[in-house]
Amino acid sequence: MNQSHVSVLEIDLNALKYNINYFKNKLTPSVKLMAVVKAFAYGHDAIEIAKFLEKNKIDCLAVAYTSEGVILREAGIKLPILILHPQIPNLENLIAYNLEPNIYSNNTLDAFIKIATRNQLENYPIHLKFNTGLNRLGFTSNEVDAILNTIKKSSCVKIKSIFSHLAASEDLNEFDFTKNQIHKFQQIANNISKKLNYTPILHLTNTSGVINYPDAHFDMVRIGIGMYGFGNDSFETSQLKNVGSLKSIISQIHKIEVGETIGYNRAFKTSKKTSSATIPIGHADGISRKLGNGNGFVTIQNKKCPIIGNVCMDMIMVDITDIDCNEGDEVILFDNQESLNELALKSGTISYEILTGISQRISRKIIFNS
């Protein structure tokens, strides 16, 4: 873990455990839980999060790409890992690290069976994804027979799960659309299951799907953003605990006279004597340039300090005129869901992008009180 950057993302594993249990309590005991740790565990720390999840009896993990799964395997993670978007050039490496592919097209199916046959594999677990309305990845319902014919010709693969992805599970205005997706998925799953002599795992719901559609939990659910403290609305988010807190320090304080400017392009001009603090974090660390010029803020001594001037690559400057603080004092970018959501709103984005955009040059600090 990089320790050279004084800015730090603190990761509260106690909060993570609380959030996991919150979602487990929404499930019947027989329903499995797949933890999504793609994109560096939503910007936190994939290895540390995965190790903790493994110790806390999560059933399996999911990442987007083979390289993410390889990193977890090399760190000693033994849990099953689903690769949600495997690429054909990486399938050999996927097999070498005992990762499980999402098969979503005839191209990926044919390529994987060819490689599995060459490697003399037997019943290697694959996961079939069907498109029920998101129109991103997945087979169509009318391809079921052809898929099964291809799979039954080979003993090298076995269908471990059948799944799909809801397009708008967080939006109750799209209730009818989502219910139609659930119905389509159930029809596809029933059609496949009756043609097999074994029963694959079925999974459909993401975080908001778990909350809003308990009738669609099937055999397993996938929890991503919910693990890190964000539900599908303000109430659900309030029931969860914040996992990541982004903090820095004051590098230098300046006393600026009236009429002087601060930062690139002289974007901020003082109208009164102003004290500014320079903070060692910038847009290369995930702080959007949209937060400059008074739009965004940090918190120092429990007071909001607006960002003044343009956000630099490695630094921001903030107004501390009315705050009693010193160089080296702590600066909080966000330490709860409300402050992160406010930054996301002011950046014109969502919490996902703020979290996953935190540079990996920012130190990660694990907090856990066992």
pLDDT at 97: 98
Judge residue 206's burial from the number of C-beta atoms within 10 Å of its C-beta, 0-12 exposed, 13-18 middle, 19 or more buried: buried
Question: Three-state DSSP class for 252?
Answer: strand
* Listed residue (60, 113, 122, 61) closest to 91, CA to CA: 113
Run of H or E residues at 249 = strand 244-249
238 C-beta neighbours (distance < 10 Å), count? 10
User: 43-73, pLDDT tens digit by residue?
Assistant: 999 999 999 999 999 999 999 999 999 999 9
**What token pair was written down for 171?**
């939006």
Are the CB atoms for 185 and 195 separated by under 8 Å?
A: no
pLDDT at 217: 98
Report the alpha-carbon distance of residue 109 to residue 98 in Å, rounded: 17
* Listed residue (139, 72, 117) closest to 99, CA to CA: 72
What's the distance, CA 102 to chain centroid? 18
* Listed residue (258, 233, 259, 252) closest to 337, CA to CA: 233
Q: What are the residue ranges of CATH 3.20.20.10 in the chain?
A: 13-230
Are the CB atoms for 56 and 24 separated by under 8 Å?
A: no
Active site residues per annotation: 38, 264
The total number of residues shown for the chain amounts to: 370
Report the alpha-carbon distance of residue 19 to residue 222 in Å, rounded: 13
pLDDT at 4: 63
Are the CB atoms for 300 and 331 separated by under 8 Å?
A: yes
**Type of residue found at 302:** N
Strands 244-249 vs 8-12: parallel, antiparallel or unpaired: antiparallel
Q: What are the residue ranges of CATH 2.40.37.10 in the chain?
A: 244-367
- What topology is assigned to 13-230 in CATH? TIM Barrel (3.20.20)
Report the alpha-carbon distance of residue 170 to residue 177 in Å, rounded: 12
Task: Report, as ranges of residue numbers, the positions in the chain whose pLDDT lies below 70.
Answer: 1-4
pLDDT at 197: 93
CA dihedral 247, 252, 253, 258 (to 10 degrees): -110
pLDDT at 232: 87
H helices, E strands: number in the chain: 12, 19
Please give the backbone phi and psi of residue 113, each rounded to the nearest 5 degrees, phi first. Answer: -65, -40
Judge residue 85's burial from the number of C-beta atoms within 10 Å of its C-beta, 0-12 exposed, 13-18 middle, 19 or more buried: middle
pLDDT at 1: 45
**Superfamily of 244-367 according to CATH:** Lyase, Ornithine Decarboxylase; Chain A, domain 1 (2.40.37.10)
User: 247-288, pLDDT tens digit by residue?
Assistant: 999 999 999 999 999 999 999 999 999 999 999 999 999 999
Judge residue 88's burial from the number of C-beta atoms within 10 Å of its C-beta, 0-12 exposed, 13-18 middle, 19 or more buried: middle
Report the alpha-carbon distance of residue 355 to residue 225 in Å, rounded: 10
